[in-house]
Chain A
Amino acid sequence: MDLSLPERLDDDDSLDELLRPLVRDPDVPPAADSVTLRFGTLRFVEPVGVALLASLLEWLQRHGTSCEIRVPADAEDAEPIRYLDDAGFFERYLGYRLSGHASLRPTTRPLAFVRPAESYAWTQNTLVAWLAHSLSMPPDALGIIGIGLGEVFNNVRDHSGVEGGCVFAQHFPRQQRVQIAVSDFGVGIPATVRRKEPDLDDPAALLRATDAGFSSQSVINNLGAGLDSLLTQVALANGGTVRIRSGAAALTAEAPDGAVLRTPAPMDTVYPGTLLRLDLRTDTFDPDEAEDESLSW
């Protein structure tokens, strides 16, 4: 199969344009024995696009599908190609950087495949340390990031059926935000929820998964609440937004008025696993945050 990337990899439509020809179900082998991905058509890519590309390539490899990446020589200077090259994407999947001048940008955290067992150390020692340095803040002031990703990776471990997720992060200093994208091609949230509540469609299942008291009990003694905690920390406490795509559904969470507003929606194309986009505000991290609370509940 010969596939040219869409011009943009940022929103749902463009991500679906890439997914649709290749993936119908994470457990069904790819629609082709070999795939050629042509990058010459790419004009813009966001972190979610990078995470999706990586997940797709990992999934193709897992199914034994040979994958060729083609970048025309005259496209190597195009901004999205340089961005991917600087982020280490081609080094990871081709074994080499396209340009001798490629170097990691200080505002980019290179693509990583993170296993749950490594996720605490990676988040604290790599992701948080990088952003804290950029913001000139103590790492402990960015606890929300560790908590949020902890919830994500505990979910990957308990429910996804895959070994880990692809993570990519981009800091936007002028906008005072950081975007973190995590993708896995595992079971997906709606399928997991339907083990306990089989009558829910994908949007209802995705919404249900974010309820505080819900657990699919995929793991004994798993009381759930991971996604609820993620939304509370990112949307309510940080003032950021969370967008989740899984199965034939998406859900956006934000807290414009002091309460988390969760908006599920059906999607025409199935995302074979889970894609999370965390948009965090960096102006709400408190470098002087104290450890002085006692808990009453």
Chain B
Amino acid sequence: MTTPPLHVLDLVPQCYSAEDGQQVYQVVAPPLARGERVALSFAGVAVVTSSFANTALVPLLDLVGADSLRERLALQDLRPAVARLLRQRLASEATRRARAVES
């Protein structure tokens, strides 16, 4: 089951601080934990930070695992700079967790 697309700017005024990220996490985590697909739109977002990504998205890796997260969470309508940062954070943390499991 896919929830209707969420617009991140309906959840927080900006994607800037760790607190902003926590608010987003609190909305997207429950449906993902239930096995649902979530689409999150970043339309209108020109600025994100690693602090935001670290609390909004990275903990989802621990919640559902990297493979499930790739399958169930769709991040859409991204500007290149925003996509670059979010991709960098998720890929880096997924790799770190995979190495921790292997060692």
Give the size of the chain B interface in residues (CB under 8 angstroms): 39
Mask for B29-53, Cβ within 8 A of A = 1, else 0? 0000000000000111011111100
Residue ID in chain A nearest B52 by CB atoms? A150
Expressed in whole angstroms, the Cα–Cα distance for A140 and B84 within the complex equals: 15
B interface list, Cβ under 8 A from A: 14, 16-18, 42-44, 46-51, 54-55, 58, 70, 74-94, 96
User: Given A146-B46, A154-B17, A223 and B75 touching (CB < 8 A)?
Assistant: no
Residue ID in chain A nearest B16 by CB atoms? A120
Is A36 engaged at the interface, CB distance under 8 Å to the other chain?
Answer: no
Q: Which of A147, A221, A292 is most buried by chain B, counting CB atoms within 10 A of its CB? A: A147
User: Given A223-B58, A225-B54, A233 and B75 touching (CB < 8 A)?
Assistant: no
Expressed in whole angstroms, the Cα–Cα distance for A179 and B82 within the complex equals: 22
Question: Which residues of the partner chain A approach B42 to less than 8 Å between Cβ atoms?
Answer: 291
Give the size of the chain A interface in residues (CB under 8 angstroms): 37
Question: Which residues of the partner chain B approach A212 to less than 8 Å between Cβ atoms?
Answer: 88, 92
**A293 contacts B78, C-beta separation under 8 Å:** yes
Looking at chain A's contact residues, the main secondary structure is helix
Expressed in whole angstroms, the Cα–Cα distance for A8 and B79 within the complex equals: 40
Could you list 23 A-B pairs, sorted by A, with CB under 8 Å? Answer: A120-B16, A123-B47, A146-B46, A146-B47, A154-B50, A213-B92, A223-B54, A225-B54, A225-B88, A226-B50, A229-B89, A232-B85, A237-B84, A289-B79, A292-B77, A293-B78, A294-B76, A295-B75, A295-B83, A295-B90, A297-B86, A297-B87, A297-B91
Residue ID in chain A nearest B20 by CB atoms? A120
Which chain A residues in 117-162 approach chain B with CB under 8 Å?
A: 120, 123-124, 139-140, 142-144, 146-147, 150-151, 154, 158
A-B contact count (CB 8 A): 118
* A231 CB → nearest B CB, Å: 11
Which residue in A140, A151, A237, A294 is a CB contact (below 8 Å) of B49? A151
**B49 contacts A233, C-beta separation under 8 Å:** no
A interface list, Cβ under 8 A from B: 120, 123-124, 139-140, 142-144, 146-147, 150-151, 154, 158, 212-213, 219, 221-226, 228-229, 232-233, 237, 289-297
